Amino acid sequence: MFKFICKTSHHLRSATRVAQSPTHNLCFCQIHPFSSSLESIKNSPNQHSFTVNYLINSCGFSPEKSLSASKYVKFETPDKPDSVLRFFETHEFTKTQISRIIRKLPRLLVCDPESTLLPKLEFLKSKGISSTDVAKMVSISPFFMKRSLENKIIPSFILFTSLFRSEEKTITAIKRCPSLLLHDQHFTVAPNIENLQEANVPIANIMYLLANQPRVFFASSNRFREIVKEVETMGFNPLKLSFVTAVHALRSMTKSIWEKKFDVYKNWGWTEDEILKAFRMHPWCMTVSEDKINRVMEFWVNKMGWKSSLLARRPKLLSQSLEKRIVPRCAVYQIMLSKGLIKSKGISLMRLVEAPEEWFLEKLVNRHEEAAPELLKLYKEKLTLSK
């Protein structure tokens, strides 16, 4: 099936000229306290001072960055760079987004925006992507503007539409990861999809991973194959969604980071078997940071009095937000417990924390409004503090 899909697939100028540029205030005007950096610009006869000063005054570059960039892009008048900055502003890019793009690709300042940039923006908009989302996507992945529309961007879009069997799902995926359209899919995505297929992972689960975590597929084929084999060795069932979630978890970190997180769990009393079992139950428990693991463990063990081994049996609690979910709901739970509105500890509290927001409010908070009217107020206060 996949093989079929693949087939479808400059002279010195004074700084005053920059100040006269009509788009001078498009981005930033920075003040740099380190005069030595500015002196190096003035005293460097080989640098194009007009370009350097333009990059500082109109694009928010630091003196060091502007000197470096001036080796690759040079202009003697503001006409071309001004037209590029105006172009981005006209297409609803914010000053911050424009500066980010130019910092990554200063050579865009000397391009013809109508012939080089406009067709790519129009292509994205033709797929129903709003101007705001287009600006966000391009600022996240500026190299999109360097790729060939006909040879790279459109073929990649067609390939992913064939894979997802939906243009809408393709758009959702590239919004999440704009660089999806920039990689050579036949050397990255395609071989790694085949690696998963060879492991008997259902195509629906592969597409789920590609849609939600597309960066996972940017690994080399050999490294990706190693990860898939490691997940198989850990005892994951390839027919279940947890298999591709585990692939994502291992792909998202180096082995040294994995080992550090392993050690953090060990420091809280988990055995190796408990850690691996927790990972098989809920792979996301290994994607949270070391700091998050410690903070959540600290709360449950030291403040709530739980044994850490209980969390090993309910690892989903490790990936819940401490501030937005765990602390507010436990505050509600403690009041309910003190008023006799809830009788058992352990599993009831776990269910309370893991439950969807609608269920939590309807079945617990609102249901006991007469007996404990302060519940909703307390819950909202805790949520407000988290923000």
DSSP calls for 85-130: HHHHHHTT--HHHHHHHHHH-GGGGGS-HHHHTHHHHHHHHHTT--
User: What percent of the chain is modeled with pLDDT above 70?
Assistant: 86
Name which of 240-254, 289-303, 361-375 the model is least confident about. 361-375
Sequence-ordered list of residues with C-beta below 8 angstroms from that of 94, at least 6 positions apart, any chain: 135
* Domain assignments of the chain as residue spans, ordered by start: 147-252, 253-319, 320-386
Is the confidence at residue 92, as pLDDT, over 70?
A: yes
**Quick one: which of 297, 230, 233, 218 has its CA closest to 261?**
297
Read off the pTM.
0.73
pLDDT digits (tens, 9 = 90+) for 248-301: 999 999 999 999 999 999 999 999 999 999 999 999 999 999 999 999 999 999
pLDDT in tens, 330-346: 988 888 888 888 765 54
Distance CA 385, CA 280 (A): 34
Task: Supply the pLDDT for residue 66.
Answer: 86
pLDDT at 2 over 50: no
Q: How far apart are CA 290 and CA 338, in angstroms?
A: 33
Distance CA 250, CA 258 (A): 8
Check residue 4 and give its pLDDT. 35
Q: Name the average pLDDT for the chain.
A: 84
Highest mean pLDDT among 262-266, 345-349, 381-385: 262-266
Q: Alpha carbon of 72 to those of 106, 110, 144, 146, 329: distances in Å? A: 8, 11, 19, 15, 55
What is the residue type of 373?
P
Whether 55 has a pLDDT exceeding 60, the answer reads yes
pLDDT of residue 167: 92
- At 345 the pLDDT is 53
pLDDT, position 337: 83
pLDDT reading at 7 higher than 80 = no
